[in-house]
C-alpha cells in the first residue's frame, strides 16, 4: 500500500515537474518583453490574442506530448522513423536555436542580478551560469531541475501578482475586449504561439516525461493533463503580466522603450517594483537557461551510446559555452536574427512529423489518435509554416544590411 502511494506521489511530482519545466522554459526574457510591448500597442484587446494563442498552444502541445508518450521515443527518433535523416535536421535546428537563445537567457540573468545587486551583467551572468551548472552536477539532476523550475515558477507568478494589484488594471474592460476586441493582430498571435510552444520549448516537458519513464497508453491521461497544465502555468503568468502592463498604460504612463518590462514594474510599484523586476527577470532567465540546455542535449543524446553516457556533461558544456560567449562578446545579434528566423520552422516541422507518426503502426502500435486532434494539429502546422516562412524570408535580408 505504501509503495503504491509512493509511486503515485512520484508520478505526480514528475508530471508537475515536466509541466513547470516547459512553462518556465517559455517564460524567459523574450516572453516578458513580448507581453509588455504587445499590451502597450493593443491595450485591452491583447486579451483576445492571449486567448487564441492559448487554444493553439494546447492543440500543438497535447498532440506532441501524447505521441511522444505513446511511442516512448524522443522527437528526433520519431522523426527518423518517419523519414530517415529528418531527426538529424530537427535536432540541428533545435540545438543551434537553443544555443543562440541561451545566450539571450544568460544575458537576461545578468540583467536581473544587475538590477538586484548592482553588479555587472557579465559577473551576474557568470554566477547564474554556475548555479545552472550546479543543478546538473547533482546526482538526481532530473529531480533537482523539477524542483528548481517549480520554486522559481511560483516566485515569478507571486511577485508579478503583487505588481499587477498595485497597477490597478481595468479588469472589466480586459475581460470584455478578450471576447470582443477592437483589433485582431495575427502577427501577435503567431509570435505568442512561437514564444510558448515554438523551438525547443514544447519538448522540454515531453522529453522530461520520457526520461522519467512516463510512457505508454496507461499514462496518456496524466500526460495530457500535464501538457495542458504546463500551458496553464505559462498562460497565468502571461495574463498577470498583461494586466499589470494594462494598468500602467491605462493611467497614461509612458514605458521606457529601452526596457519596457522594467519600467512597468517600477511605474506600478516604485523602487520595490524595480527590485521585483530584477527577481522576476533573473528567475525567468535562469530557468530558461536550464530548460534550453536540458532540452537541446536531449535532442542529440540518443544518436550515440557515448552521447547518451555523457549527456549530463554535454548539458553542462552547453551552459558553459553560452555563458562564455555572452561574457566575451555579448549577444551576437546577427546569429540571433538568423536562428530566430529558423526557429519559427521547428514547430510546424516537429508537429507535422508527430501527426504523421501518430498514424504509423510501427511507431504507435494499435493506438488510435483522435481525429479532431489530427485536424487541429494540421491547421496549426499550416498556419505556423506560413508564418515561419515569412519570418525566415524577412530575417535573412537583415543580415546583409
Q: What is the pLDDT of residue 71?
A: 92
Mean pLDDT of 291-301: 92
Q: What is the pLDDT of residue 15?
A: 85
pLDDT classification of 395: cutoffs 50, 70, 90: low
Q: What is the pLDDT of residue 352?
A: 92
pLDDT classification of 42: cutoffs 50, 70, 90: very high
Per-residue model confidence as pLDDT tens digits over 26-37: 888 888 988 998
Per-residue model confidence as pLDDT tens digits over 350-375: 899 999 999 999 998 888 999 999 99
What structural domains and CATH numbers belong to the chain?
11-400 (1.20.1740.10)
Helix axes 75-82, 201-211, angle to 10 degrees: 100
Q: How far apart are CA 290 and CA 14, in angstroms?
A: 16
Radius of gyration over alpha carbons of the chain, in Å? 20
Q: For residue 43, is it left (φ>0), alpha (ψ between -120 and 50) or beta?
A: left
- pLDDT exceeds 60 at position 2: no
Q: What is the pLDDT of residue 344?
A: 67
Q: What is the mean pLDDT of the chain?
A: 87
Per-residue model confidence as pLDDT tens digits over 140-199: 877 888 888 899 999 999 999 999 999 999 999 999 999 999 988 877 887 788 778 877
Residue 226: count of CB within 10 angstroms of its CB: 29
Amino acid at each position: 500500500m505504501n509503495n503504491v502511494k509512493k509511486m503515485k506521489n512520484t508520478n505526480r511530482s514528475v508530471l508537475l515537474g515536466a509541466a513547470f519545466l516547459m512553462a518556465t522554459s517559455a517564460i524567459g526574457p523574450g516572453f516578458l518583453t513580448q507581453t509588455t510591448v504587445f499590451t502597450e500597442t493593443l491595450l485591452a484587446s491583447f486579451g483576445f490574442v492571449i486567448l487564441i494563442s492559448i487554444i493553439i498552444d494546447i492543440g500543438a502541445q497535447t498532440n506532441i506530448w501524447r505521441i511522444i508518450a505513446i511511442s516512448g521515443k524522443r522527437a528526433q527518433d520519431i522523426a527518423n522513423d518517419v523519414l530517415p535523416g529528418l531527426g538529424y535536421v530537427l535536432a540541428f535546428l533545435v540545438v543551434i536555436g537553443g544555443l543562440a537563445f541561451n545566450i539571450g537567457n544568460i544575458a537576461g540573468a545578468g540583467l536581473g542580478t544587475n538590477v538586484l545587486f548592482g553588479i555587472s551583467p557579465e559577473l551576474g551572468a557568470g554566477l547564474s551560469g554556475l548555479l545552472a551548472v550546479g543543478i546538473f552536477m547533482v546526482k538526481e539532476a532530473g529531480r533537482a531541475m523539477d524542483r528548481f523550475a517549480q520554486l522559481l515558477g511560483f516566485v515569478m507568478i507571486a511577485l508579478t501578482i503583487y505588481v499587477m494589484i498595485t497597477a490597478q488594471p481595468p479588469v472589466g474592460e480586459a475581460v470584455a475586449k478578450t471576447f470582443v476586441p477592437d483589433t485582431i493582430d495575427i502577427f501577435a498571435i503567431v509570435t505568442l504561439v512561437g514564444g510558448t510552444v515554438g523551438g525547443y520549448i514544447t519538448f522540454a516537458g515531453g522529453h522530461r516525461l520520457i526520461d522519467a519513464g512516463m510512457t505508454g497508453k496507461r499514462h496518456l491521461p496524466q500526460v495530457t493533463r500535464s501538457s495542458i497544465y504546463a500551458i496553464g502555468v505559462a498562460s497565468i503568468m502571461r495574463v498577470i503580466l498583461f494586466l499589470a502592463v494594462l494598468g500602467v498604460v491605462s493611467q497614461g504612463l509612458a514605458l521606457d522603450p529601452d526596457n519596457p518590462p522594467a519600467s512597468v514594474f517600477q511605474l506600478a510599484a516604485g523602487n520595490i517594483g524595480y527590485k521585483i523586476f530584477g527577481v522576476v527577470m533573473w528567475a525567468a532567465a535562469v530557468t530558461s537557461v536550464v530548460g534550453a540546455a536540458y532540452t537541446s542535449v536531449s535532442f542529440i543524446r540518443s544518436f550515440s551510446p557515448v552521447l547518451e553516457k555523457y549527456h549530463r556533461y554535454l548539458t553542462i558544456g552547453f551552459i558553459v559555452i553560452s555563458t562564455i560567449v555572452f561574457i566575451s562578446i555579448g549577444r551576437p545579434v546577427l546569429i540571433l536574427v538568423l536562428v530566430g528566423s529558423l526557429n519559427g520552422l521547428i514547430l510546424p516541422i516537429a508537429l507535422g512529423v508527430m501527426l504523421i507518426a501518430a498514424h504509423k503502426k510501427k511507431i504507435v502500435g494499435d493506438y488510435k489518435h483522435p481525429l479532431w486532434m489530427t485536424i487541429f494539429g494540421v491547421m496549426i502546422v499550416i498556419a505556423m509554416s506560413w508564418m515561419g516562412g515569412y519570418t525566415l524570408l524577412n530575417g535573412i535580408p537583415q543580415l546583409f544590411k
